[in-house]
Amino acid sequence: MRNFNLHLLLLVILGLHLSSVFSWKQDEFRNCNQTPFCKRARARKPGSCSLVARDVSISDGDLVAKLISENPEVVEGQSEIKPLILTLSVYQDGIMWLKVDEDQSLGTPKKRFEVPDVVVSEFSSKKLWLQRLSTETIGADSSPSSIVYLSDGHEAVLRHDPFEVYVRDGAGNRVVSLNSHGLFDFEQLREKKEEDDWEERFRSHTDTRPYGPQSISFDVSFYGADFVYGIPEHATSFALKPTRGPNIEHSEPYRLFNLDVFEYLHDSPFGLYGSIPYMISHGKSGRTSGFFWLNAAEMQIDVLGTGWDAESGISLPSSQSRIDTFWMSEAGIVDAFLFIGPEPKDVMRQYITVTGTPAMPQLFSTAYHQCRWNYRDEEDVENVDSTFDEHDIPYDVLWLDIEHTDGKRYFTWDSVLFPHPEEMQRKLAAKGRHMVTIVDPHIKRDESFHLHKEAMEKGYYVKDAKGNDYDGWCWPGSSSYPDTLNPEIRSWWADKFSFQNYVGSTPSLYIWNDMNEPSVFNGPEVTMPRDCLHYGGVEHRELHNVYGYYFHMATADGLVKRGEGKDRPFVLSRAFFAGTQRYGAVWTGDNSADWDQLRVSVPMTLTLGVTGLPFSGADVGGFFGNPETELLVRWYQLGAFYPFFRAHAHHDTRRREPWLFGEQNTEIIKDSIRVRYALLPYFYTLFREANLTGTPVLRPLWMEFPSDEATFSNDEAFMVGNSLLVQGIYTERAKHVSVYLPGKQPWYDLRTGTVYKGGLTHKLKATEESIPAFQRAGTIVPRKDRFRRSSTQMINDPYSLVIALNSSQAAEGELYIDDGSSFDFLQGAYIHRRFVFADRKLTSVNLAPASQGSAQYHSNAVIERIILLGYSSHAKNALIEPSNEKVEIENAPLWIQRSQGPLVMTIRRPNVGVADNWTIKIS
């Protein structure tokens, strides 16, 4: 009877969910015209802002001014427009922080929400305390502008009348500006009067809006720009398309509103699971700049096409190329950061200086993950695990979805299907493998469920507009949601991951946060009502886009607590916000098994990378539907290069483990997975680079070739680090594929070593065995060429170095190694080497600082193969110094497992220590 009731309940819940979002029912979601703040903002005309800057001064190291409305439009029902307070702060490395808020001293119904816990605490130490400001009358202005020094000859300019803020370089050229078109608008909070009707209705839902309209909108212009990128998450091109302007068909703005969307459409500006209100620009001028609005309310952003303002009468500098954008948010304050670059990697570094460096992942999590909704029981888990071994296919992580729990009660196990969870995990751990279980934010409202009872008694749930525990529907049925904005509640949640509280968990178990937008099946747009209340009286509308971020934060902190601060957490989250990179990985959500979704996975992952989230990927094979065999194979070939490499499938799909598609396809898929395992040393080194600098693992071509215009809108190919270029195949039965290889130096086919000229588009034969991938001349890529069951078992295996020589017969690369799991690397327990080949010599140089700290990491691993691609001379021997040993050079396979493949020049068994200083000179 229990199973029947659970099944019936699941059908009811699933029916509710699917009636809302299955197969993209567009009318279930609001468009701009159905969103009053968006509709109002889009109706504004250039020059409509009446604000001027007054009382400009320096206070506490900041430039401070009042924004006063002169000749304001009189709007019926509006109260008096009070002055706003502008604060402009300058920070090291070319970062400007701009705030505009209501003046609290004049009395407001409540304090507007400012998003906490995103800007890292150490950022405050980088503040440059302004001592003075200068004034300058610019152009034909009737009043002076206030100017402060920013960085490297750049200055921040506050134009008084009309109000405008911009950054200019030493030559007087603009970089980024705000309100150049006079579209700034700031709706102030009001006390509700009896006659006020502020309610908004959408379908069957009513939003009470107790403080009335409170939206903000303004224009931002990027100078020297040909394209803009960023503002995830959308299933669309990497270079953002114009959404308004001449000859542009009606388009919705890019929406930032975290939503649970089943089978989302490709090529759509509609918002998905996460939101990062951060945009970067790039152009043939060579300039890269960025703009970040720290605001967690719903946001809509227009990219304005050329000529959109032709009738405005506003004339902006015409000597620079420029892209104009228009930003609209339902609530919050102006809390914005301008990044001046000027290089692409400078902007990456500036952004993470504000929002935090990406977490250094555990090594195992950078390998291959096998997931399905759901592996049925312990026997199914054991069979899947053993069959990977039978086919000699490595994998590192097996995942369990919601069906592993007792009635969708998280932190529990179904006692019939998973009666021995600890033993199950230990069997995987014996092979160096790990398990991930799902933990979502909805807590089943069941008096017998201790987690619900405790949360209810402590008052830890989000409240509805009337102050009662909010009750919504999700997988368990009636559910409530912990208010993770509250630090006390986040700490309580983190404690639930201890081995004592999460009974059946072991040290090899890690976590998946799904549905944390938050998804509410019977809520408006399948999410929580906007007038729900959080800690401190904050309305859900004000923080919606950070709910999942706080849940992810609390979960990651829980795993750190569980390991007593010694074990790096692994937590995958579906919802995300700026700063999510500090807590773990994300993926692109519930995609579908079709070619268009394979294609769009690349720009989606690129976008996540350039907005601070280097650890991301798409479900290999597509979550929904049954991929045809060719599509699945192509997806594995591409997915092997995603930073996060996981196969995943819906429970209604046919089983699709790698060995179920015929022997030939099994071999091709296995080969793709093995390429990833061979490249793990390279990937792990790139994750360390991301951890230090914010530079993404998977990069747009223009990040490495910033002056090559042919790369600016290319999102079919991508760079993995600075050394590898990968081109996907996105059409079925493709006979040929065109690949653009940028730069003046040659490229070497990753699998054959065949050389191709740079700066050309090559038409290549499309083979079943692989997709095009190339190593850039002038680089050195570390590999591990022996294959084990998992990455954990490869720790002590020897390394290979693949040296791709450029026209000067030179190359360089790096290798980073640590214990792969602990935080000891923060105390200097790591190996970091730079390999340099020049003048017929390969030298290993230590990059770790001399004063590494008390901790140390030792490795006895050696380099057993050194492969030379493009070496112009014949040689028989090489001399190792300082040991004065001679080793042979011979022709050997480029890949050991492909013994029948092409032979390349190889220094065999030099067996030099990976952590040692040495030189190998070719005779």
Sign of CA dihedral 376, 632, 591, 398: positive
Task: Give the three-state DSSP class for 428.
Answer: helix
DSSP state of 470: P
* Pairwise CA distance, residues 397 & 431, whole Å: 11
Q: Which of 483, 590, 785, 814 is catalytic?
A: 590
Closest of 359, 342, 377, 108 to residue 225, by C-alpha: 342
Exposed (0-12), middle (13-18) or buried (19+): which is 736, by Cβ within 10 Å? exposed
Q: Are 588 and 604 in contact (CB under 8 A)?
A: yes
* Pairwise CA distance, residues 249 & 3, whole Å: 52
Half-sphere exposure of 306 (CA within 13 A, CB side): 6
* Pairwise CA distance, residues 470 & 246, whole Å: 46
* Pairwise CA distance, residues 654 & 674, whole Å: 24
* Pairwise CA distance, residues 769 & 766, whole Å: 9
Task: Give the three-state DSSP class for 57.
Answer: strand
Secondary structure of 221-278 in HEC code, one letter for each residue: EEECCCEEEECCCCCCCCCCCCCECCCCCCCCCEEECCCCCCCCCCCCCCCCCCCCCE
Q: Give DSSP secondary structure letters for 868-889.
A: EES--S--SEEEEETTTEEEEE
Is 590 assigned a catalytic role?
yes
Is 514 assigned a catalytic role?
yes
For residue 216, list its beta bridge partners: 186, 329
Q: Which of 302, 514, 689, 814 is catalytic?
A: 514
Q: Are 200 and 243 in contact (CB under 8 A)?
A: no
DSSP state of 106: G
Tokens representing 35 are 């969103």
Task: Give the three-state DSSP class for 351.
Answer: helix
Amino acid at the residue 202: F
Residues 6+ apart with CB under 8 A from 840: 809, 921, 922
Is 594 assigned a catalytic role?
no
Q: How far is CA 711 from CA 339, 458, 701, 726, 917, in A?
A: 22, 55, 6, 13, 38
Closest of 210, 221, 181, 460 to residue 321, by C-alpha: 221
Q: Which of 207, 401, 517, 525 is catalytic?
A: 517
- The bridge status of strand 585-587 relative to strand 616-617 is parallel
Q: What is the number of residues in the chain?
A: 923
For residue 200, list its beta bridge partners: 207
Closest of 615, 604, 116, 46 to residue 313, by C-alpha: 46
DSSP state of 123: G
Q: Are 244 and 230 in contact (CB under 8 A)?
A: no
Tokens representing 566 are 């010694």
Residues 6+ apart with CB under 8 A from 437: 399, 400, 404, 505, 509, 511, 512
Beta strands in 278-384 (DSSP E): 278-282, 288-293, 299-304, 322-329, 334-339, 368-370
Q: Are 653 and 621 in contact (CB under 8 A)?
A: no
Phi, psi of 176 (to 5 degrees): -140, 145
* Pairwise CA distance, residues 118 & 292, whole Å: 12
* Pairwise CA distance, residues 575 & 259, whole Å: 8
DSSP state of 429: H
* Pairwise CA distance, residues 793 & 853, whole Å: 28
- The bridge status of strand 397-400 relative to strand 368-370 is parallel
List active site positions.
Answer: 514, 517, 590
